[in-house]
Amino acid sequence: MDRTKANYSNGVQISTTTDNNDPLIEMNLETWNKIKNFKTRFISSNEDPKKMSFMNLDVAKSWSRSKKYGVDPYMQALGSNMNPQEFRDRINNKKMLIETAVPFIKKYYHVLANSDYYMILTDETGTILFTLGEQGEANAFYAINARPGAIWSEQTIGTTAHALSIQLCKPVQLAGPYNYCMVLQDNISSSTPIVDETGDIIGTLVVVQMTANRNINKTQIHSLGWVISMGYAIENELQLRNRNHDLNELNDTLQAILSAVDEGFITLNNEGIITHINKEAAKIFGKLTPDIENKHFTELMSKQIPVDKVLETGKPIHDYEATIVNDKSEVQYLITIEPILNETGEFLAGAVMRFSRSEKINRLVTHRGGTEATYTFNSIIGESTAIKKTIKDAIKVSQIPACTLLMGESGTGKELFAQAIHNNSRPEGPFVALNCASIPRNLIESELFGYEAGSFTGAERRGRPGKIELANGGTLFLDEIGDMPIEIQPVLLRCLQDKKVLRLGGNHYIPVDFRVIAATNKDLYHMVQEKQFREDLYFRLAVFKIMIPPLRSRDDDIILLTQYFIEQISQRMGLIVPRLSKDVLTKIKNYSWPGNIRQLENAMVYAVNMAQDGLITMNNLPDEIINDYHDSDMDSISDHLLSMVEIEKRAIKNTLKHTGYNVADTADILEIGKTTLYRKFKEYDIVLPK
């Protein structure tokens, strides 16, 4: 609402002439009496007040409405009273207005030149919320029911200054006879509407002055100006309070969000003083919030954390790695420090620090990186006594956080078991796998332990965490542990013992908490005896040993797994699930499956693709299965008289089976060169599995 000066004079409702702009000071007693007399006539006749030249038009309309409402102009106690409960609710509802306006009213009331003023605060319906006046005035006004809880609307008491200012939404000064009720007609009242930010009227402020026997003078004019500026002041204060209230609410919401997140947050001012710390950050530092707030950040954390740099440059720092040590723990965090800038991007108030547990990030990274542990004990297929016992043992072991060594031929499902153990013991943490045989020896160390920035040629600029760090909070699966270079073994052992890792080129240990599951298809203990594997590391890793049975000793499971793979593969490829011919079934059951489940799975991929007319026949099996001399293992050699050539051929085939078709291992065992072995494959028509 605009209450500029022009509007102000426009808003004055006076009694001298029909011109609304005339100041009250110009009202003379003659007009005053003219209105008074006319009102008595108007009440008892049907005369239209709009037609009276001395009547203000808005007042005239209000009189007509008042009459229509049936207001009794001769009543002594004005208006009706709200019932106490309803009034308490109203007060509650208008708490902010009352709390804001009352101190103003009290403060400025005494500044007024005359003491015959009476001040009223109403709500937007005209209900009186608060009154103030000197003893004499108060008593007089009390007698006419000018007290909190009285409903003084146009409907209940007819035309008044405040009823008009609500109706017209502007300040109104009203000469006594214009009031509809006779008991008010010796007063001069000034009223201003109080509006909220959206322009809605939320109340009125009224100053009433008893003018009976007094001259109309400048003070009345001033009282309007005075009530208007007070209205302004109340509105401004209300807006401020509302904004404060909104800010407080925003602050409460922010606090609630910050205490709900499981990351630590600290805010600092531009001098590095901690201004706020959320619950999680207090937990990280093992302190109580009041012990931290208002302290310099260096009292809480290492000076090396580059807070000063952010405060100086206004540039953020992301993922700074630091170990936070408190009385109870030592944990690695990634810290992001963001400067608090203003809208134009100038550096302003300070900085916000965020502490994220690196193991969480690692878990995300590893999940995204594809080394997610999907298998559980329930998803391991097998009904044989051998596999059931293995699963039972593995479940037991999974409940104890000690190193576990999984032993078994290639393709028996060692990784599957490792995943199942992980998911049964620390499913929330990352599962990080490292195959020691598939990584060049010179890279194993950095893969395992990570490295600091610039620690060797080709290293990433910012350095990188190793698999051990990435496994923090979860499981590190070291597959083919027999291939772990002997020179790295003592470092790994130290790390397993101390639960700390030192990155290559680094100068501080990073605390880590991870479970180790190692796997091997080699005879690791034999390697220890041959000095190819360190005994201390072996005993550290093999606290629990689990032997995964080869497929050939899981007779009952071969057909179960065959069916499972055929169905899975067909479904994946959108094919009808083929049946197995009788001789194929016999072959599969009797074959020794040197490559175990992996070989069976691959054989079924081949067979499903080769099958015709919904049937898998012998021809649809891979060569090495068709050509298998099932009953020709070396034990039976003694029963037959064989040529040297046949003996050599069988020796090669058996060794191949034994090594899971690993050419290098086969050549090793047969003590011949790899080139010779390949030549013999050709010579004897031996085909390696695809």
Ligand X SMILES: Nc1ncnc2c1ncn2[C@@H]1O[C@H](COP(=O)(O)OP(=O)(O)OP(=O)(O)O)[C@@H](O)[C@H]1O
Using CB under 6 A as the criterion, which residues of the chain lie in contact with ligand X when the complex forms? 380-382, 408, 410-416, 479, 519, 521, 597-598, 601
Comparing CB distances to ligand X, the nearer of 519 and 625 is 519
Comparing CB distances to ligand X, the nearer of 362 and 520 is 520
Q: How far is the CB of 534 from ligand X (least distance, A)?
A: 21
For residue 533, give the nearest of 493, 491, 492, 485 by alpha carbon: 485
DSSP string, 318-366: EEEEEEEE-SS-EEEEEEEEEEEE-TTS-EEEEEEEEEEEHHHHHHHHH
Cα 543 to the center of its chain, rounded Å: 41
Q: How far is the CB of 586 from ligand X (least distance, A)?
A: 22
Q: How far is the CB of 481 from ligand X (least distance, A)?
A: 11
At position 598, the amino acid (one-letter code) is R
Beta strand 475-479 with 317-325: parallel, antiparallel or unpaired?
unpaired
Comparing CB distances to ligand X, the nearer of 341 and 381 is 381
Q: How far is the CB of 326 from ligand X (least distance, A)?
A: 40
Q: How far is the CB of 289 from ligand X (least distance, A)?
A: 49
Comparing CB distances to ligand X, the nearer of 174 and 548 is 548
Helix (H) or strand (E) holding 202: strand 201-210
Comparing CB distances to ligand X, the nearer of 91 and 604 is 604
Comparing CB distances to ligand X, the nearer of 452 and 557 is 557
Q: How far is the CB of 541 from ligand X (least distance, A)?
A: 16
Calpha distance 84→464 (Å, rounded):
72
Q: How far is the CB of 547 from ligand X (least distance, A)?
A: 12
Q: Is 273 exposed, middle or buried (0-12, 13-18, 19+ CB in 10 A)?
A: middle
What residue ranges in 41-182 does DSSP mark as E strands?
80-81, 117-123, 128-133, 150-151, 172-175
Residue with tokens 């923090």: 472
Q: How far is the CB of 419 from ligand X (least distance, A)?
A: 8
Comparing CB distances to ligand X, the nearer of 415 and 452 is 415
Residue nearest ligand X, CB atom distance: 413
Q: 640's torsion region: left (phi>0), alpha (psi -120 to 50) or beta? A: beta
Comparing CB distances to ligand X, the nearer of 32 and 417 is 417
Calpha distance 121→119 (Å, rounded):
7
SS3 414: helix
DSSP string, 114-147: -S-EEEEEEETTSBEEEEEE-HHHHHHHHHTT-S
Helix (H) or strand (E) holding 171: none
